[in-house]
Structure 1
């Protein structure tokens, strides 16, 4: 495959793996919800929010940072220095991951909302996972820097499979062994669900270590042939890692801290307003475990594109190839919008059927949240892509600033909505998340224009996919509700409407964008899509 197509190839690998792992995660949420109940899901969600924040500080951004720093040295054929960066990153990850794990275990009660302390056991179960996640992040970033997404892709799938199996099994066993009433049922169920996360991370890490061992000889052969005489010291490497990782960590922390702050502000204000804690926990359970799980599927695809873009854009930028860097940015945005815009439309149009089929135990709240919040997918996906680009060109402080501004707006929105209209419930959090995503998109777009002269191709990048997705949405709605009148079986109607809607979208997309066969082949599963469109006589 040509160098021009390398981004799409790597992004496609990671996208497909991410999609598979997210679907696995989606499918196990329903049985997990049945085992835990909505209150148990709420405790699990609160513990997970604290876990994610500590993970962001210690490990979440490490793959991006390692990928960028190592890929820069590989581009200059400095294999020995690249390996030294890898070793330094492992040491860094062990230190910060270990500290974060200890904080979660011993000080978790201070990080949870005052009226949700029942989530503490689940948080303590998650504490060791932070340490191992940091190491796993270094391994994934190292292989991404070598422009191979296959190890990361497979490890993600294995991680999610182990997570799904152990979460349900451990939750059921702990409930059976220790639960004596409704409250302890929720507490031990949430703790069991948290154990699954740790099992998943350990499985992914074991696979990455096997891959590294298999490639160790070829890696050391390159190091032996390295002719560069200037070898970086470990002190210098640690300084580079710290200076590179720290801004990205702060940026990712600020960018993702909104969920933790939303949960805390939302819970504390509604508690102050006299809303029963179990009602608050139940609403948060539906929001964090059903709504967020669904919208995270298309958002994970944008994250995969961002990860794949980082090494290529960093390489272009270090070589002063700004035109090529902008082309890569547009490729990444087009690829993401090709998937995320129809996903947002589909989630909105079929919100209630989707939640009822996937989460039978959920109430109408999940469907209402999905209908109202599906537009967030588009803005969040775009902000993820542009964040990755700014970090790739060495401007990590810019998305940090933009995230901080957006976070302030987010906090104001959730506080005002929760205080002024507590009857809105968790919809105040939904509004705040949309405010954050839109603000990030606007600020990042301004920054990219300033530093790279980048101009958004609104017509091809957004307008045409939106036009095709609108037609798709009409078809999906008519087919589902029309078929439901004849065959009132939700899963059958949903399956037929989704398949037909996907075909209609592909046909309309090709017509509207005038996409050629060769262009379509470069998209995820492009060869299969071309075969289908040829059967339908769209392509000759």
Structure 2
């Protein structure tokens, strides 16, 4: 079966994740037109619990499987790797079924705990997805362990396309049905609308289960298509697979998977903390229950959805780099290990820093473009955009520490950070002038603490020393320049085009796209001039030679591409 480098795997996963996020940005505004900020608040409150349940069930084991398979294949233990796949499949399917049923049973108590009884139907609608995603994760973990990221990427796109289409359709039909149901209950006015939105929010999540089922089906089909090749390689196994029993493999998977699950769950625990205490503290600050739910909807949809687009690069990089880090650690190659760690951090800073600068400058145009009917989250995005750097840094740190076997270390650091976030949230959200922004400040405190402690741990366990000037200062300096030019380009286009384009929405869209495209090109060229991107970096990209040839055609650029 075809194997890819971690750089190519990162590129493939990143491309798939970008497509997924773009699809999300296309359908979420449409859903928002149907259910509004209040409906988004209900939907996201239920969705945050589902995400945590998903991470607990489906994150640690597939990553552990990826790590174990990678190590086994590195030593040609093909029979043992196939045996490991069967054991992990049993574990994931049984775990997914159990979690799916448990989520449905706990929908009522959990929705009450979150001070959101209206999210009950949303949680119920999401519960079947946990079983289907567990089945999909069996094959994703296996393929990623073989450094083949294509099946995972394609399955994610299939899942998101189906989710996007059905989310819009079912949100609309559920809202219409909800209006009739509420009218039959004798409700009218805002009470009728709020009752209908409860069902519409649940309808907007139906696509999650359908998409997960389709994704699992595609991955199974891909595995079945390659099974003959996988079985054939068993003949070349260096062992007969009997060196470990099924129970030993199970213990190994759990031993690796549990700390990875805890580490991965921390991001979603921070969001669940926001769900649990944000609404109640906003009410303490003097906001009504409907206002508090709507404000949370803005935070979870307009702010978080846009903010986490660059974060997918960190997730993709972490997934792609973990097997390569594990392989280097397994053969105790310290030089190779440190080089891969340094390259991972260099790559993520080259992406996260300009993304933060761009979102800071373009926060208002982007939110007005995506949510024209209720553009309430642009100030949150402008304030919180720089947390992208912290979140992506911690995400890659966690993957690297997991790859070298220090799985509990980032988990402990995040738990302490979560304690700090809880204190900050509780204190600041209740201040009316700060309100929902307190959740952003709390997250920044949490990730700052975790980033510092994780970096200290990496230095201790690997001896890695990052060249701060090279991997951070260059992207930062270039990003500040890029942000300045993007600001001028956007407002310059607005000034020149406003007499030609009368629609405010179209005018903003044209100018925003022009500024973002120009900003990306400016950053790319300036990074080459500053020495932050080399010709070798470009060659490692898909179609790298072609990109390099086009780049060299820009005036004076050939002298920097040596």
Q: In structure 2, what is the equivalent of residue 120 of structure 1?
A: 120
Is 1:508 the equivalent of 2:507? no
Equivalences for residues 330-409 of structure 1 within 5 A? 330-363=342-375, 365-409=376-420
Displacement of 1:486 in angstroms is 2.1
The whole-number CA distance in structure 2 between the counterparts of 1:105 and 1:514 is 50
> In the alignment, is the contact (CA less than 8 A) between 2:162 and 2:211 conserved in 1?
yes
Deviation at 1:384, TM superposition (A): 0.4
3-state SS of paired residue (2:127): helix
1:229 CA drift (Å): 3.7
Residue aligning to 1:91:
90
> How much has 1:238 moved relative to structure 2?
1.1
Q: Structure 1 residues 74, 287: closer, same or farther in 2, change over 3 A? A: same
Indicate if the aligned counterparts of 1:355 and 1:367 stay in contact, CA closer than 8 A: yes
Please say which of residues 348-357 and 178-187 is displaced more in the overlay: 178-187
- Per-residue deviation, 1:72: 1.2
Which residue is 1:323 aligned to?
335
Q: Structure 1-normalised TM-score?
A: 0.96
Q: 2:326 aligns with which of 288, 297, 314?
A: 314
Q: Distance in 2 between matches of 1:525 and 1:361?
A: 40
Name whichever of 386-395 and 237-246 sits farther off. Answer: 237-246
Alignment of 1:6-45 (within 5 A): 6-45=5-44
Following superposition, the deviation at residue 70 of structure 1 comes to 1.3
**Which whole-Å CA distance do the structure 2 matches of 1:456 and 1:243 have between them?**
30
In structure 2, the CA distance between the partners of 1:375 and 1:514, relative to structure 1 (3 Å rule), is closer
Deviation of 1:514 (Å): 5.8
- Corresponding residue for residue 72 of structure 1: 71
1:380-419, CA deviations, whole angstroms, 9 ceiling, x for partnerless residues? 0010001000011111111111111111111111111123
**Residues 458-477 of structure 1 mapped to structure 2, 5 A cutoff:** 458-477=468-487
CA contact (8 A) 2:285 2:435 kept: no
Shift of 1:19: 0.9
Partner of 1:195: 206
Q: Is the 8 A contact 2:18 2:312 kept in 1?
A: yes
Which of 441, 446, 460 is the equivalent residue of 1:436? 446
Decide which moves more: 252-261 or 17-26: 252-261
8 Å contact from structure 1 (residues 115, 277) kept in 2 = no
For 1:451, the equivalent position in structure 2 comes to 461
Query: For this pair of structures, how many residues does the alignment match?
Result: 535
* 1:478 and 2:478 correspond: no
TM-superposed CA distance for 1:273, in Å, is 4.8
Q: Are the equivalent residues in 2 in contact too, given 1:255–1:407 (CA < 8 A)?
A: no
Residue 235 of structure 2 is aligned to residue 224 of structure 1: yes
Q: Which moved more, 1:169-178 or 1:384-393?
A: 169-178
Stretch moving more, 391-400 or 131-140: 131-140
SS of the counterpart of 1:350?
helix
Deviating runs (4+, > 3 A) in structure 1? 271-274, 523-529
In structure 1, stretches of 5+ residues that fail to align are none
- Secondary structure at the counterpart of residue 204 of structure 2: helix
Q: Which runs of 5+ in 2 are unaligned?
A: 183-191, 499-506
CA-to-partner distance for each residue in 1:359-389, whole Å, 9 max, x for gaps? Answer: 11223x3100110000010110010001000
Residue by residue, what CA displacement relative to the aligned partner does 1:268-303 show, whole Å, maximum 9, x if unpaired? 223345531111110111111111111111001111
1:530 matched to 2:548: yes
* CA distance in structure 1 between the partners assigned to 2:536 and 2:382 by the alignment: 36
Name 2:169's counterpart in structure 1: 169
**Aligned mates of 1:140, 1:320 — CA distance in 2:** 27
- Describe the shift of the 1:240–1:495 C-alpha distance in structure 2 as closer, same or farther (beyond 3 A): same
| Farther-moved stretch of structure 1 (519-528 vs 278-287) | 519-528
How far apart, in 1, do the equivalents of 2:176 and 2:547 lie? 47
- Corresponding position of 2:502: none
Deviates more, 1:526-535 or 1:69-78: 526-535
- Closer, same or farther in 2 for the Cα pair 1:379/1:166, shift >3 Å? same
| DSSP 3-state at the match of 1:459 | helix
8 Å contact 1:286–1:362 — kept in the other structure? Answer: no
Contact map agreement 1:115 1:271 (CA 8 A) in 2: no
